[in-house]
Structure 1
Amino acid sequence: MQIRIIFIFILFTTGIIGQNIQSIQLRPLQENNYSAIVPLGTVLELSFDDLENDGKEYQYKIEHMTHDWQKSRMLSSQYIDGFDENSIINVTNSFNTFQSYTHYAVRIPNINTVITKSGNYLLSVVNYDTDEVVFTRRFVLFENMATIGVAVSRSRNAKTLSSQQTVELSINHPNIRINNPAQEVHVVLLKNENWNETITDLQPTFFMANQLKYTYANKTNFWGGNEYLNFDSKLIRNKSINIVKIEMQDIFHHYLYPFTFDENRTYRYNPDINGQFVIRTLEGNDANTEADYAMMHFTLYAAKPFDEKEVYVYGAFNNFEIEDDAKMEYDFEDNSYKANLLFKQGFYNYTFATVDKYNQVNTNEVNGTFFETENEYTAIIYFKPFGGLYDSVIGIGKGFFNQDR
């Protein structure tokens, strides 16, 4: 069995987005729902800001993908009623903010684009004038054709007993005939909606009538990680959660409470939203266009630089990617890493990631990894029968770690 943990080999972003595109979100309309893995027919809203504020025309493009995120064999007419590419026409300018921006939003499905098949989809935003792909986001549409059970427990491996979590799952499929699970079924385990932390290429360990079970001892282990750090900038002129100082320059600058690296760090419960973020402001009626931007100042105290490694600020705010803009620089005068990043007002989770000379990413080196950490795991079940044209998603399952297990 081959286990692929993509998160270790995350690719570096090349700055395609650039500084001008900020606050990208792709989410259902329900409040406090951050997942782009939704039932077929659910409305997802894509939104983002262009800080250049010059009225560019952007288009969205939708492509159906295979279970391993390669372009599928289907034509767009086979999975979309309408157009797979169209202009984003919901465009509004910021109001009463120090940082000017243009806010773009589009809902899918809409009158021009109705998706008819389940599966993986890649949503691209394209600059109409240059035909350049500005950024992409993944989403998954599923059908409730099978019942998926997911259980999460402490690792059974003595070496990782205190630092890893084990995921087990079962697929109950009374209405689907599966002749060859090894060829027809693909399972992806996803941690905290982060596509850089997945386990794939699993085969069932037990076969029963209308049921498949995946009960590995070690092959479905994830590092527990730690609870995310957070800040709240809903008040642009006044201090809020974890903001120690505010300065006004061309825009507001918020200085966060420093974090101190401790290699003997122990677990402390701190409720988080698993790396996600929420745009909000208490100084306007519409956060989409009245929330301002502030320069957030991050400080990480470390007695010395990490040997042959770079440090980055990391979270859903940058799609869990390693970006040059989020790189921290070491200050030898006060033995700390520092970074300044622009954020729209809101509540944000973040952590720190290290990257070595082989481009291996480690999100646990700074903040630690513990079996007690509260994580959410999603099992995505793809089904492509012999002779089938595409990978459909027949169900998903959710599992949460419970310390009492």
Structure 2
Amino acid sequence: MTKQFCSTLLLLTFLLPVIAQVQEKNEPSYISTVEFKGSSAQSELPIIRLGERLELSFDDIHGDEADYYYKITHYNFDWTPSDLSKGEYLNGFDEVRIETYENSFNTLQIFSHYTLSIPNRETRSINKSGNYLLSIYNDSNELIFTRKFMVYEDLLNVEVSIKRSRDISYIHEKQVVQFEIDSPTLLLINPKQNVHALVLQNSNIKTAITNLVPQYTIGSKLIYRYDKEAAFWGGNEFLFFDNKDVRSASNGVRRVEVTDIYENYLYTNISRKDRPYTYNPDINGNFVVRNIDVQNPDIEAEYVRMHFNLMYYDDIADKELHIYGNFNNWTIDGSTYMKYDSKSDTYKSTRLFKQGFYNYKYVLVNRDGSIDEGAIDGNFWQTENDYTVLVYYREMGARYDRILGRGAANSTNITNN
């Protein structure tokens, strides 16, 4: 066996687990305002109980009534494909056309609005818990975009508490998630190998903690009392704008213009990293489409060019500034880039948003793609954040990972011990 062949084999062995894990595909520029949710009124990562409804909607700003199709795929805890056949996790079938759509009405920007609700006539129910990927295709069978979601069974009790960091270096900046899993009726065999926990901050799966194992067992309870391993940066309260009344300045909107569509100029933001923490109610990075002057915001809300402006004087070297939030599934791309404007000595960005209430923040992006969420707005232990813990379990001989329980907590109840 040659040295070159050995090196190639080693490289392939190293890459295989990465290649096998599914990654979300971001929507193209003509697909906008992807709202994906379960029972929540705001768009966020859907985590639904087995049997609950799932809602997806999006706009095609070409407005040509194109045909779109959907596909549902089941995955393991680590987002590798499960061994289940489609008939095992779906009652009915998928790979059918999204039939419910409407064209925009009385708006400057034309668009076609698509809505998918599951269960429906074709996909009557989802039968198994676990990780899922919803994929949207066009009529040429080209993948347009994907979204992840989770389905859980309510079989375990998961108690979650939020603590301040015990590491004195980060006591003012980090929040720690500790939890207990109680399984009084179901025996969890070999939990250190068969039980996996997913810890989410503000429903952002891209920053989730996945490598925790139970530290010890007390009776029927699995105890997770990590500090460093289960710590999140506290961040700061999200900034927001609300342009439900697109014709006048309102919360966060400084000036309104009309060109081919409405243009909203936001007030200039400044860095909050070195300023005292101030509580400001938010919806933790999510958004809600709304227009107070119409009956159906889905098709009557305007698309608006939002103009962002950030005053920031620190040297960012070869890094980039971006706006960040769930408005595009926590994605960093060209539409979120903040470009330096020498005339005003500020960073600016312009992006298309559908009317509504939106949370956002400014982040610093390193050359390797990693994100520093606290570089601009800071990290504070007092920040209000939502935390969710999902518990996965694979029984002996089983072919997929079930989600047996869900727990949640909010950092407004943070404690020091």
Matched, 1:160 2:160: no
Any idea what the Cα deviations from partners look like across 1:203-247, whole Å, max 9, x if unmatched? 111212211010112211110000000000101111111100000
CA–CA separation in structure 2 for the residues paired with 1:310 and 1:404: 33
Q: Give the aligned partner of residue 145 of structure 2.
A: 135
CA–CA separation in structure 2 for the residues paired with 1:208 and 1:33: 38
CA–CA separation in structure 2 for the residues paired with 1:138 and 1:70: 13
Match of 1:196 among 206, 220, 228: 206
Q: Give the aligned partner of residue 100 of structure 1.
A: 110
Q: Give the aligned partner of residue 231 of structure 2.
A: 221
How do 1:2-401 residues align onto structure 2 when only pairs under 5 Å count?
Answer: 17-32=27-42, 34-113=44-123, 114-129=125-140, 131-261=141-271, 263-303=273-313, 305-401=315-411
Counterpart secondary structure, 1:300: strand
Supply the AA of the counterpart residue of 2:131.
N
CA–CA separation in structure 1 for the residues paired with 2:386 and 2:275: 23
List, as ranges, runs of 4+ consecutive aligned residues in structure 1 with deviation greater than 4 Å.
11-14
Comparing 297-306 with 216-225, greater Cα deviation is found at 297-306
- The answer to whether the 8 Å contact 2:213/2:224 transfers is yes
Supply the AA of the counterpart residue of 1:135.
F
Unaligned runs of 5+ in 2: 1-21
Counterpart secondary structure, 1:72: coil
Counterpart secondary structure, 2:77: coil
Q: CA deviation at 1:184?
A: 1.0
Change (3 A) 1:180 1:403: closer
Q: CA deviation at 1:305?
A: 4.8
Normalised TM-score (structure 2): 0.91
- The answer to whether the 8 Å contact 1:12/1:323 transfers is no
Q: CA deviation at 1:358?
A: 2.1
CA–CA separation in structure 2 for the residues paired with 1:234 and 1:351: 20
Counterpart secondary structure, 1:328: strand
CA–CA separation in structure 2 for the residues paired with 1:118 and 1:13: 20
**Number of matched residues?**
393
Supply the AA of the counterpart residue of 1:240.
S
CA–CA separation in structure 1 for the residues paired with 2:105 and 2:138: 24
CA–CA separation in structure 2 for the residues paired with 1:117 and 1:87: 23
Supply the AA of the counterpart residue of 1:377.
Y
Change (3 A) 1:12 1:311: farther
Supply the AA of the counterpart residue of 1:270.
N
Counterpart secondary structure, 1:159: coil
Q: CA deviation at 1:170?
A: 0.4
- The answer to whether the 8 Å contact 1:305/1:330 transfers is no
Unaligned runs of 5+ in 1: 1-10
Supply the AA of the counterpart residue of 1:297.
H
Counterpart secondary structure, 1:366: helix
